[in-house]
């Protein structure tokens, strides 16, 4: 247990990201909303995954690895940023996508442009990525490489440390602005971001509840993953584990996993027209739809901080 400052970290992003008021959205929603702009993390087109990659790639360097192996869907913000981060450190990347080959557009096109090798599992089941990542890592090891396999979204205790650090960063900004939010809302997908913020809240006791809107898996599964990964992160740095169950809001998955939803599209349009901020249609837009619904129902307690997680390339697909 070395504490957060003792954990290996490489600097990839530009921090702190802004914490800004959203007055016109607040008026429309009926609850005070602030944005934590993690779409402005500074690597590539930004996004929340940069924070976790700072710790994961430091771990890869510590282990002497020379190639990253990870994946997700063809439009995975995580996979593209992993490839870009690896390139900035002189590391190759192999990306494994579920499903069958598709035209490289959006995030996939960006990953290819930085030299990532792309493979497809031929299986539409998202979990096929996990099996293929392990297989590719074994293949690379047999060929004399030193791979660093990473699961979808970098959702491990090490990866979650990026959002433990973000919790510290946010605490300083809240102190400087005099803001005392009641809730912090975000999209919960692979669960690493939510887990890191949960671990940070258990440690720092900031006074707000962390509320995740599940956007790609059943709420019960998401809550279990958030709890487990947060505990791993807390144990790594020797801070108290969270005791209360994670808060995960269901009902905003849309017609299919990894797809847009009508509610998300409407929420993203409202945010763009009131504040000039673009939300990723598959993740942050659905989370905003959840927040707006809670505001209408009177269950969103302000002030609220909403984590803008980025993902701009998916807007062009």
- The catalytic residues are 76
CA distances from 33 to 160, 187, 303 (A): 25, 15, 6
Give the DSSP letter of residue 97: E
What kind and span of H or E run contains 55? helix 49-62
Beta-strand ranges (E) seen in the chain are 19-21, 33-37, 67-72, 92-97, 117-120, 147-149, 183-188, 209-214, 247-249, 304-308
Cα distance between residue 274 and residue 310, in whole Å: 18
Beta-strand ranges (E) seen in 260-312 are 304-308
> Which tokens sit at 202?
């258990």
Give 128's Cβ-side CA count (13 Å radius): 14
Cα distance between residue 72 and residue 111, in whole Å: 12
What kind and span of H or E run contains 52? helix 49-62
């Amino acid at each position: 247990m070395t504490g957060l400052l003792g954990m290996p970290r490489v600097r990839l992003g530009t921090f702190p990201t802004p914490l800004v008021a959203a007055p016109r959205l607040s008026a429309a929603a009926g609850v005070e909303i602030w944005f934590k702009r993690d779409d402005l993390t500074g690597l590539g087109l930004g996004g929340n995954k940069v924070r976790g990659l700072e710790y994961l790639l430091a771990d890869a360097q510590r282990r002497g690895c020379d190639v990253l192996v990870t994946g997700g869907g063809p439009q995975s913000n995580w996979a593209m940023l992993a490839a870009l981060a690896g390139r900035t450190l002189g590391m190759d990347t192999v990306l494994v996508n579920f499903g069958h080959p598709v035209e490289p557009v959006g995030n996939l096109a960006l990953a290819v442009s930085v030299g990532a090798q792309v493979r497809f599992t031929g299986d539409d089941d998202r979990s096929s990525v996990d099996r293929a990542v392990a297989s590719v890592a074994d293949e690379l090891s047999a060929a004399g490489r030193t791979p660093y396999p990473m699961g979808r979204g970098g959702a491990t205790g090490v990866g979650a440390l990026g959002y433990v650090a973000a919790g510290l960063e946010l605490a300083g900004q809240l102190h400087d602005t005099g803001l005392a939010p009641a809730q912090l809302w975000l999209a919960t997908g692979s669960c690493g971001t939510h887990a890191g913020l949960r671990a940070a809240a258990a440690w720092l006791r900031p006074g707000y509840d962390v509320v995740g809107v599940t956007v790609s898996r059943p709420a019960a599964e998401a809550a279990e993953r958030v709890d487990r990964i947060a505990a791993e992160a807390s144990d790594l740095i020797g801070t108290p584990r969270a005791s209360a169950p994670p808060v995960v809001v269901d009902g905003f998955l849309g017609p299919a996993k990894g797809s847009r939803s009508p509610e998300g599209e409407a929420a993203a349009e409202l945010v763009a027209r009131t504040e000039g901020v673009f939300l990723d249609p598959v993740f942050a837009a659905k989370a905003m739809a959840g927040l707006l619904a809670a505001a209408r129902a009177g269950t969103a307690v302000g002030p609220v901080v909403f984590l803008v997680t980025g993902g701009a390339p998916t807007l062009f697909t």
